[in-house]
Amino acid sequence: MSQGILLFVEQRDGVLNRTTLEALVASQQLAAGMSESLSAAVLGSGVSAVASEIAAKKLDKVYIAEDSKLAEYTPDGYTAALRQVIEKLDPRYVIFSHTYQVRDFAPRLTAALGKTFVGDCIGYKLEGGALLLTRQIFQGKINTDVGVSTEPPIFISFQTGSYRADQAAAGESTAQIENFTLDMSGVELRAKPEEKFQEAKQAVDLTQAERIVSVGRGIKSEENLGLVKDLAEALGAELAASRPICDNEWLPMDRQIGSSGQTVAPKLYLAVGISGAIQHVVGMKNAQTIVAINKDAEAPIFDIADYGIVGDLFEIVPALIAEAKKSQG
């Protein structure tokens, strides 16, 4: 009979991915709420330091599943290895952090096992013993509570930032670490990864900016960018953008805020014509003061803004520039 919660521990080159600690917080709460045991699995090669780091947290057991075929992440290697761990341990829940790596293999793994994966959750609810997982649809505009009707294990990933890593409870004593023996002999790694690399060094370090004016799709065309540039200048702010602007090459990639760009926490983040898709929000939600200017009163950006102006940015931004200049004068 399936029991317990298994947390997938993500590491790269022997370094723990911090978002795993967020998923650990969710797992610890879930384990307490459902009176389940909690264990963790670290996959890789030479990952005992990562296992020790996790074993210091409040959980029952840490499994190390090592193999030379896991030295570099591949979807085939990770799918096969984690499948073996899950088939042996038979957990009720398998929990991940919703990282790019997890997105690359967890759906394959669940399909291979004939199970279901509720991905990118922002929380959960226990209602009369039943687990409901909260995930957002329409790019953060609507929340849903999702129920699962298959036999365990149930696979769940939590979105980055949904839980706070610093709330991970430490253990009273170090959890037991156990080596899990994999048989990877028959596993073919079809994808052959090359070295990871970064594009040309980032010219603009937005993480150091005190104030940021950020522009999104609402600006409509490249010609209109001058308007937000003027606003940034008038406010003594750096100019940044959401992904569509950089995809269109209206601004260079190093100005992009969000999951695929920079993560910032300035004193002021002024979002102009940005709807607030989750991929953008994860890069700026920790700003001290968030201002949103958007024509759509329902835009998700208003859910996290401190101040909002609903209206036409082409009328509001010029007024703001005039006002900012007035106070300088």
Partner 1 sequence: MNIVVCLKQVPKKDSILRIGADQKWIDERDLSYEMSEADAYALEEALRQKEKHGGEVIVISSGPERVRQSIKEALAKGADRAIHLTDPLFNSGDPAVIARALAGALKNEKFDLIFTGLQSDDYGFAQVGLILAEMLGLPSATIVMEVQPEDSGVRVKRELESGWFQWVKLPMPALLTIQSGINQLRYATLKGIMAAKKKEIKEVKAADIGFTESDAISAQSIQRAYFPEKTKRTEIIEGKPAEAAAKLMEKLRFDARVF
The footprint of partner 1 on residues 202-221 (CB under 8 A) is 202, 210-211
User: Which CB, 170 or 192, lies closer to partner 1?
Assistant: 192
Distance CA 120, CA 118 (A): 7
- Report the relative pairing of strands 38-44 and 154-158 from DSSP bridges: unpaired
3-state SS class at 253: helix
- The residues in 44-83 that bind partner 1, with binding defined as CB under 8 A, are 75-76
Q: Which residue, among 80, 87, 83, 94, has the nearest Cα to 9 in the 3D structure?
A: 94
Query: Could you say whether residue 100 binds partner 1 (CB under 8 A)?
Result: yes
Q: Which residues of 101-118 are buried (b: 16+ CB within 10 A; e: fewer)?
A: bbeebbbebbeebebbbb
Among 186, 199, 223, 329, binds partner 1 (CB under 8 A): 199
Interacting residues with partner 1 between 128 and 187 (CB under 8 A): 132, 136-150
Q: Which helix (H) or strand (E) holds 68?
A: none
Q: Considering only the stretches 62-70, 167-175, 221-229, 236-244, report the one whose residues sit in contact with partner 1 under the rule CB under 8 A.
A: 236-244
Report the alpha-carbon distance of residue 76 to residue 313 in Å, rounded.
48
Report, in Å, the least distance between residue 66 CB and partner 1: 22
Shortest Cβ distance from residue 175 to partner 1 (Å)? 28
Residue 222 sits in the site that holds partner 1 (CB under 8 A): no
HSE-up of residue 317 (Cα within 13 Å, Cβ side):
26
Q: Minimum CB separation from partner 1 for residue 165, in Å?
A: 16
User: Is the CB of 170 or the CB of 200 nearer to partner 1?
Assistant: 200
Residue number, 58 or 295, with CB nearest to partner 1: 295
* Calpha distance 22→267 (Å, rounded): 25
Q: Rounded to 5 degrees, what angle do the CA atoms 33, 153, 16 make? A: 75
Give 178 or 210: the residue with its C-beta nearer to partner 1. 210
CB of residue 287 to partner 1, shortest distance in Å: 10
Q: Which two tokens stand for residue 130?
A: 């039943």
Size of the site for partner 1 (CB under 8 A): 91
| Contact call for residue 195 and partner 1 (CB under 8 A) | yes
Residue 121 identity: C
The CB-of-162 to partner 1 minimum distance in angstroms stands at: 11
Residue 304 makes CB contacts below 8 A (sequence gap 6+) with: 276, 281, 285, 290
Nearer to partner 1, 39 or 101 (CB): 101
Q: What is the closest distance, in whole angstroms, from the C-beta atom of residue 136 to partner 1 in the complex?
A: 7
Please name the helix (run of DSSP H) or strand (run of DSSP E) that holds residue 211, with its range, or none: strand 211-215
